[in-house]
Amino acid sequence: MPKAESLSSHIRERRDYLRECWQHITQHWLGATMIFLVASYSVYTDWILRTVKIPADLALELPRLPLAWAAVIVLALLFFVVLEGGYRRLKAETQLKEKSENKQAQLEKDNQKLLCELAVAQQGLQNANAHFERLQNEIAELRRTFPRIEVIGCERAVTHLYEGLVVRNHGEPAFNIEILPVQVGSAILRTVRGVERLAKDDGERHMQFEIQNKSGGVESQKLFDFMRTQNIDAIDVLVVYKDWENHWYRTLCKIERDVLARGGLAFKHVSQERTKPPA
């Protein structure tokens, strides 16, 4: 079976080659014309003039070309045409192979270039990630080395009847903590007293406040109710304090009305920055 398949494949290849040769012959107009003229001339001089009686005044006296010689010439012309076609085919295959190799080489070159660019990009990304992590560590270290006071709630003290803002320290100990007066519609929110010292381990600290109206009186409403009455959606609260080296800081917090939050108020930390001592 393998021998039979090999023979069949060989015959098929030869047949395809001969078909290509014939197609080339039919496309080679000069060779085909010469073959036709030689064959016609040989048939006329070697066969028609001897077998057909043509009047002397109509017959053309031409040198005789035997059919055997005509066959040799035709075969030579066919061989030349086939040889020339094979050369063209080989040249076309060589050009196609060279083009394919050049294209493959270019693709490999582009691939190497992309790999190099990818390696550079990955290295840059790693450097950026390392720099980002270093910055995060530095920021975390800075946060651990200075106080950070935030307003986290507003509620009535357990041991008192007054309402106050709840503050907490997330950093180093803070001193002289005060909440600056806040404009709340037509009134001003003022804390009654500040906090002398608040450390991270001290937990939450309650700072009593009053809402003073224009006449100097104190509103009896809770902060949420007063903001709702005044149609105020949010207020900004500034907290100032210092560290043990007398560096002053200012934290900006935002109090927003939110019916889904505890007490109807939501508290957000906005920013923290160094500042000058309060006047």
Encode 16-34 in three state secondary structure: HHHHHHHHHHHHCHHHHHH
Domain assignment present for residue 98? The answer is yes
Q: Are residues 88 and 201 in the same domain?
A: no
Q: Are residues 168 and 220 in the same domain?
A: yes
From 48, 82, 107, give the residue that closes a domain: 107
DSSP reduced 3-state for 248: strand
Q: Are residues 50 and 98 in the same domain?
A: yes
pLDDT of residue 142: 59
Domain assignment present for residue 125? The answer is no
Domain assignment present for residue 129? The answer is no
Q: Are residues 165 and 64 in the same domain?
A: no
256-269 average pLDDT score: 90
Domain assignment present for residue 228? The answer is yes
From 75, 107, 139, give the residue that closes a domain: 107
Domain assignment present for residue 102? The answer is yes
Cα distance between residue 198 and residue 253, in whole Å: 18
Domain assignment present for residue 172? The answer is yes
Q: Are residues 152 and 81 in the same domain?
A: no
Residue whose token pair is 């008192």: 160
Arithmetic mean of pLDDT over the chain: 81
pLDDT of residue 61: 63
Determine which of 155-169, 178-192, 204-218 has the lowest per-residue pLDDT on average: 155-169
Domain assignment present for residue 126? The answer is no
Q: Are residues 80 and 172 in the same domain?
A: no
85-99 average pLDDT score: 78
Q: Are residues 152 and 257 in the same domain?
A: yes
Domain assignment present for residue 124? The answer is no
Q: Are residues 85 and 180 in the same domain?
A: no
149 closest CA partner among 171, 165, 176:
171
Find the helix packing angle between 67-145 and 2-27, rounded to 10°: 110
From 84, 107, 130, give the residue that closes a domain: 107
Q: Could you give the number of structural domains in the chain?
A: 2
- Give the residues across from 164 on adjacent strands: 155, 208
**Tokens standing for 240?**
């100032």
Count of residues making up the chain: 279
Q: Are residues 82 and 26 in the same domain?
A: yes
pLDDT of residue 44: 67
Q: How many CB atoms lie within 10 A of CB 20?
A: 14
Give the largest Cα separation in the chain, rounded. Answer: 150
Q: Are residues 58 and 159 in the same domain?
A: no
Predicted confidence band of residue 10 (pLDDT cuts 50, 70, 90): low
Higher pLDDT, 40 or 239: 239
Domain membership of residue 193 as a residue range: 147-274
Residue whose token pair is 């090999």: 6
Predicted confidence band of residue 174 (pLDDT cuts 50, 70, 90): very high
Residue 193: pLDDT above 90? no
Residue 126: pLDDT above 80? yes
Q: Are residues 95 and 170 in the same domain?
A: no
Q: Are residues 99 and 154 in the same domain?
A: no
